[in-house]
Chain A
């Protein structure tokens, strides 16, 4: 294993362990996700009883959708957070200057840290809500064993896309001093366009097509459809390709923004 790989692995592992120290926060989070899961699942049940087959989802799929989205909410950081909180704090305290003289790539560092976080939260925050959904609502688990690894790959890509979006928001701090405002706007946009509130298929014409090609669809809608086995064969590949394409584009943009930001700090003095 190369020394760079070993470094990023060490960062990811440290980040994983760090999140695992927040035991009370993790428990509280699991509890909240589960409670919201119940509320939303009952809401969806009522909705689907009135409009069976809405958006092409049967009732069991609709309820399962809720539990998947609750499971992914924190792992994929739909609302922002994760490394973003750290970077924001480092802007506030000025520690961001210290980060620049470390001989480690800034994007690589935070990406590794965020993957470590996501890995922990997948275990700690995703398993419980899905289990609750299965026990209380007979949530639909994948029928094919192959769906599980494909779903996990899709979640990994979702985290990469989410990281790409959050990284751009964080870097705006180099110009705006504080990325809080941008972050608040992004939260609303992401909640709506990721399919977190409602599957994108339920959106009206026009908005639906737009939402389905925007990067936020990669966060919840694509992995959920894979889990529900609504996408099959080439659709699955299309979904993964869609996620991968956005991940590549966003990470490239992040890299470019990082170059500009570093130049700004080093040349203009921040």
Chain B
């Protein structure tokens, strides 16, 4: 069952800029430019792109707080902008840099409020709260005012608040931003449990690709409002023309190594770095180096997904 459907969705903004002393010029900016994708129930999808790519605009349209300029959009069987309130009962939203919690009051009060807002039946409320408290280890924090919580604790509190009403879809906008390593791990574990255990569909934007590597079976890359990649993580390497690196230690400093199928990208004393296409075998290159140079040691490094994505962003034509 498709939970999120976008068909040729576009969103333009009119920006008025001052030109000269009195004249103002109107300029159209296409934040989202003909976006189409479908997310099935139970999927966990990473939605990534550089700053200004149109990620937040997409999320705003998916929550109904922004209408698309063109195209068709449906979430959980509802047209978001037209039935925002109805949709709100079926989705959960967590913005890493915003909080929906009641700042000066104990965490528990925010949950009581959520229970009223979403009219959660008592039994379900208690069951959901107990589960979140256990998984997110919120027990000792329930009676602490939100302003006294650390960022990681607050984030966990926000996650629970977004899930008490059993949303079908959970949008996460940079859920691990600013968190330390331990908190990140905990948040990811929880999200995995929500997605695979409870079957909640998750759409998450992030700049931390570890989130995606560990959580998402599918990744969508957007740039300049257009989809540049939609598929599995492995497919990214092929599409991104990623390279592996062969690091060799020679007996002493030497001129850059020349072997077929690889090129030297860095030289530091006796150590040299050779790049070659990720899908090629390293064996013939290693053999060629060993045959022509005094080789002491070597290692092969896999491509970092960050580099792959960075290359992908850089490649997209502007305009």
A residues adjacent to B (C-beta < 8 A): 3, 6-7, 10-11, 14, 17-18, 21-22, 93-95, 97-98, 100-104, 265-269
Contacts and interface: CB of A to CB of B under 8 A. Distances in A.
6 contacts: A10-B113, A22-B104, A98-B93, A101-B93, A103-B86, A266-B65
B89 interface: yes
Interface string B26-69: 00000000000000000000000000000001001001111100
A11 B65 contact: no
Given A3-B119, A7-B117, A266-B67, 10 more contacts: A10-B113, A11-B113, A14-B109, A18-B102, A18-B105, A101-B64, A101-B84, A101-B93, A103-B118, A266-B65
A97 B105 contact: no
Contacts of B199: none
A10 B65 contact: no
B105 A17 contact: yes
B81 to A, nearest CB: 6
Q: Pick the 6 closest A-B CB pairs, nearest first.
A: A103-B88, A7-B116, A103-B85, A18-B104, A10-B116, A101-B63
Nearest to B62: A101
Majority DSSP secondary structure for residues of B touching A: mixed
Contacts of A266: 64-67, 81
B98 interface: yes
A263 to B, nearest CB: 10
Interface in B90-122: 93, 95, 98-100, 102, 104-105, 109, 112-113, 116-119
Contacts of A6: 116
Nearest to B14: A268
Contacts of B14: 268
A94 B56 CA distance: 13
B240 interface: no
Contacts of A103: 84-86, 88-89, 117-118
Contacts of B11: 269
Contact of A94 (B13, B64, B98, B100): B98
Interface in B1-23: 11, 13-14
Contacts of B13: 268-269
Contact of A14 (B85, B88, B89, B113): B113
A14 B110 CA distance: 9
B145 interface: yes
B246 to A, nearest CB: 47
Contact of A17 (B65, B88, B109): B109
Most B CB contacts (10 A, CB to CB) among A22, A93, A97 go to A97
